[in-house]
């Protein structure tokens, strides 16, 4: 049996661009990059939560069991420590000089 990978908030916050999107839901880390164009609610909501904890948004919309099963296929690991926030993601973008990536996500 393979060991589950763990990711810190700082690691997750690096994955916030259209070409590389990770989210956290209930302490689990998901790579949703390939699902962006398929999301029935549109790509905007995923982009808004890229690189951060999306648990509240995921639960507020009332996703179906089918959606939860689909999410399970995108699981890449577990969150280690506190969940990433928008400020964590923004700090990573600022440090890397990727201000354009943040602006395009916010528009």
**14 pLDDT above the threshold of 70:** yes
d(CA 53, CA 66): 21
pTM: 0.81
d(CA 17, CA 107): 13
pLDDT of residue 5: 96
How far, in whole angstroms, is CA 101 from its chain's centroid? Answer: 15
Query: Which phi and psi (to 5°) does residue 77 adopt?
Result: 170, -165
Given strand 28-31, what is the order of strands in its sheet?
6-8, 75-80, 28-31, 20-25, 16-17
User: Confidence class of residue 100 from pLDDT cuts 50, 70 and 90?
Assistant: low
**32 pLDDT above the threshold of 60:** yes
């Amino acid at each position: 049996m393979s060991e589950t990978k763990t990711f810190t908030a700082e690691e997750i916050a690096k994955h916030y661009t259209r070409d590389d999107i990770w989210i956290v839901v209930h302490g689990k880390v998901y790579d949703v990059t390939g699902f962006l164009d398929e999301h029935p609610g549109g790509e905007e909501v995923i982009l808004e939560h890229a690189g951060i904890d999306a648990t509240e948004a995921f639960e507020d919309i009332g996703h179906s069991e089918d959606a939860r099963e689909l999410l399970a296929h995108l699981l890449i690991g577990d969150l280690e420590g506190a969940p990433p926030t928008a400020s964590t993601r923004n700090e990573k973008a600022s440090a890397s000089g990727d201000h354009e990536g943040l602006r395009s996500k916010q528009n």
